[in-house]
Structure 1
Amino acid sequence: MKQKNIQIATIAGGCFWCTEAVFQEVKGVETIVSGYTGGTVPGTPTYREVCSGLTGHAEAIQLTFDADVISFREIVIIFMATHDPTTLNRQGADVGTQYRSAIFYHDEEQKQTAEAVINELSEYYDDSIVTELAAAETFHKAEAEHQNYYRQHTQQGYCSYVITPKLTKLRKLFADKLK
């Protein structure tokens, strides 16, 4: 049996419920954990603390993926297409640094790949891409109620009005990449 080529990606595209829901449908993604990263306050932050905007953390997901099935480049392209990378510290009605668009790279190759994808995609946006690129730091797993959120709350208003349209876009643009 062939061994998998497992790698890690850490991305923040606004509310982690949205980003988690998108990547749960992507072929080659093995695990997804919603959490917090990129902050300046020591210790493990709580959802309430991160939502205050005072910790500097972003709501993010950390995923493991089989790079023989889906590349980091493809992950970045899907990420960029399923959120708005042109709004600084905002995704829709979610406003604050905790909702920033960011790619937390785990090595120089991921950094260079992310930079290349951002440069390539920039011509498709009317506004400048403001996605932050930063070295991956400590990733703090969010509380249990934030894991697998969309699948457990599909009828909730936020899920219906914000996440479902992102999934529709994913399914339309990346049908060949879905599980």
Structure 2
Amino acid sequence: MRVAPWQKCTANLSQSSISTATAGPRSSATAPGRDPYPPYIERGDGCRVTDVDGNERIDFSNNYTALILGHCHPGVAAAVHAQVARGSAFAAPTRHEIALAQAIAERVPSIERIRFASSGTEAVMFALRLARAFTGRPKIAKAEGGFHGTSEYASISIGPDIAKAGPSDAPAS
């Protein structure tokens, strides 16, 4: 495949990834529509990211909407720096979890309990487990074409072939 001049470093990293990473340069589930390979990001600032080839682009994903303040927000960077100076990862709860849970519950009164998770996939797995236990039902429903994490329970198609999707009143899974 001929490589565009503006993607030389990206192409090299993609090839290296294929030989070392299990899914190559991320899977189509987490990086759809990035053919022939995803951009390899070097840095981000606000709503913009710059890849290893120096190409700047607007980051419409913002880590799948988790970065509501954008990349390298000064307040977030200062808070992270201060916390890392006290310790970066503990296999035990901290007082900050309680404070955050209380702040979220104050802002969203309908929330009764909060369970923090390390990833969206883990959060979906906890939600599925809770829903099954609460309802006593083993089956789950999923929005066709939606991304619901990478666990075996939720990683059914996210980009269906419209010709094979079936009628809207009974879509194929």
- Structure with larger Rg: 2
Common fold by TM > 0.5: no
Higher share in strand: 1
TM-score by length of 1: 0.24
Q: Which has the higher contact order (CA 8 A, sep 6+)?
A: 1
TM-score by length of 2: 0.24
